[in-house]
Chain A
């Protein structure tokens, strides 16, 4: 085995914060949870924040004069402050709550397509181009396909190189003066690849295109600072970063959010309503129609506190150590092929692989019988599978609570799978 770097994290202590990791599965097997890219587990402080909100402060936000309403509003808006600080947002008003990353991405696509923006830079129409990549999650493909259909804009995309990187050879041709928006993932949820956002931003700047970053797999795992990233908009989802389900975030530069027309209409997003027409609240409330996911936002605030307390740099380093260890172990399993970058350089802790002669569905099923939870299939990124000529992959994904012993359990499991189907 290669020399193994030490993790800066006391993982045993971290694991005590996650009650579910003590769960015993059928047959009294311990749980080996290697599916954090799908959704992460939740630490106690997040569970307690949810309970405390419902037990002590529950009330609707921004529309009650009573004490509970004020407490609830303060906690909800307090979560916005925490999230703004967490991603380096220059202003709290640049943080919009959505129900998940998918909704945040759809918000941008649909408001650009609505044609309601005053500034033509924020209106999509025939002759305009939208640029995405072949390694996007379906959530960053399908909204753009629908929007292209509706507006007559053209959808184009970057390809993927043989080693699982973004193919930027055609950068200047793809991102050209006709390009209105480039929307790309920061870290691929199937390949683990971390993309060079800055390079794409530079070209987009030259041609005056907006850049939207799908950071659903980045914000949970590495320090992300929107004040230096250069992107105009950034989407992520709470449940993959120790937060509850039902809460996501769209960050956007103030002038961009201000220029985009409203998305959903309803309570809370208005300034005044008359039967003849309405005027709208300033950002971020313009994009938050109806009663928001209050407890979920507060829970996400608690998650951000938790992650900050440990340190995103430390979490990132830990995942690099685990990823290096897993790549090394998998590389030595005969019949296993890693789909995606083969080193930890510009890659995160999500590893897809195939096992010769065994379909991923069968790999996943037999691993589950040994208590090892992985994801199998195309991971909502089917074009990557098509690109590599495979029907599906098995995917192991790591987080701050992942141990090398869990990687060993998975590798032992794969050996068993091979024996079973051998």
Chain B
């Protein structure tokens, strides 16, 4: 059942989320909502110079949106901001690729399990929810630092 959508990796992240919960200190946060289904997520970014020291999050939503936030935490924490934005861009490209994009495991790690989600247009938004919130929060954290 749902072989291509509900990969084991996704279910694992859903049942045992990594890094869930909002943590202090943080430099910026962003709250995103999926208006069609009501899923919500808050993402906080904590920077240490050019490095992403922590990405923390909390929210409610389906297995896809929650697992995706867990993968995001795992991938981006500890990366440089440039790397984090590159990873974000790769994940977004995979999700918007309608199933035609071949994911790079070196860049996306467990994120490659979401390749099948790209074939379900109604679920792409779920997968991208936390990533869009991260992008927002990181941009805010950066502009805050430049002040």
Contact = CB atoms under 8 A, between A and B. Distances in A.
Given A365-B123, A369-B1, A391 B6 contact: no
Given A365-B5, A420-B6, A391 B63 contact: no
B: interface residue count bin: 10 to 19
A361 interface: yes
Contact of A391 (B36, B40, B123): B40
B16 interface: no
Contact of B38 (A365, A366, A385): A385
A90 B37 CA distance: 41
B2 A359 contact: no
A420 B37 contact: no
A369 B39 CA distance: 22
Nearest to B36: A377
Contact of A369 (B2, B60, B63, B66): B2
Contacts of A420: 1-2, 6
A359 B61 contact: yes
Contacts of B39: 361, 391-392
Contacts of B60: 359, 391
B37 A416 contact: no
Given A359-B63, A361-B126, A392 B1 contact: no
B63 A392 contact: no
A416 B1 CA distance: 9
A216 B127 CA distance: 33
Given A391-B61, A416-B1, A361 B37 contact: yes
A351 B6 CA distance: 27
B37 A377 contact: yes
Given A359-B61, A361-B62, A361-B64, A366 B37 contact: no
A360 B37 CA distance: 9
Interface string A344-385: 000000000000000111100110010000001110001001
Contacts of B123: 361, 365
A408 B5 CA distance: 25
Contacts of A362: 6, 62-64
Q: Which of B6, B37, B60, B66 has the most CB of A within 10 A?
A: B37
B6 A378 contact: no
Interface in B1-39: 1-2, 5-6, 11, 36-39
A365 B2 CA distance: 8
Given A378-B37, A391-B40, A392-B38, A366 B64 contact: no
Contacts of A421: 11, 63
Q: Which of A362, A366, A369, A385 has the most CB of B within 10 A?
A: A362
Interface in A104-136: none
Contacts of B1: 366, 369, 416, 420
Contacts of B2: 365-366, 369, 420
A391 B36 CA distance: 11
A420 B61 CA distance: 17
10 contacts: A359-B60, A359-B63, A361-B39, A362-B63, A366-B1, A378-B38, A391-B40, A391-B61, A416-B1, A420-B1
Given A360-B37, A385-B38, A391-B61, 17 more contacts: A359-B62, A359-B63, A359-B66, A361-B37, A361-B63, A365-B120, A366-B2, A369-B1, A369-B2, A377-B36, A377-B37, A378-B37, A378-B38, A382-B38, A391-B38, A391-B60, A392-B38
Interface of A: 359-362, 365-366, 369, 376-378, 382, 385, 391-392, 416, 420-421
Interface of B: 1-2, 5-6, 11, 36-40, 60-64, 66, 120, 123, 126
